[in-house]
Amino acid sequence: MFESRITQRVRYAETDRMGVVYYANYLVWFEIGRNEYFRGRDLPYADVEARGYFLPVSEVRCRILQPARFDDEVTVRTTLAEIKSRSLKLAYRIERAGELLAQGETVHVCVNGDQKVTRIPEWMKIKLTL
């Protein structure tokens, strides 16, 4: 099963006054992982939108096990957990030097330019699952 990996440093902007990363930022990192997953499948997400499809998040779950801190190098590992006719689920693991910091999932529905839920087109399915 294909898994993408991308590493980045924690920004000061992403921390809060507890001295650790503010929890909503894990979802931003999921997005970074997602973008990398799509790119790794040879389908940059910008191309999906250029073709008139959008994948808004309908559900997200995140567990935080260990806090990330400023300047940490964190890696986002992303896999496709499920793909249905109109939605898909991605799974994420956020690690620092091999230690699992957080994990989670996002569910996305496929919508067209009129913001109507629609079937995931074949070309997208093929790219994402090949």
Q: Which residues bind a copy of itself (CB under 8 A)?
A: 8-9, 11-13, 15-20, 22-25, 27-28, 31-32, 35, 44-46, 54, 56-65, 67, 69-71, 106
Minimum separation from the CB atom of position 53 to a copy of itself (A): 11
Minimum separation from the CB atom of position 5 to a copy of itself (A): 15
Question: How many CB atoms within 10 Å of residue 12?
Answer: 7
Closest CA to 125 of 50, 56, 38: 38
Q: Tell me the C-alpha distance between 74 and 87, whole Å.
A: 28
Minimum separation from the CB atom of position 129 to a copy of itself (A): 22
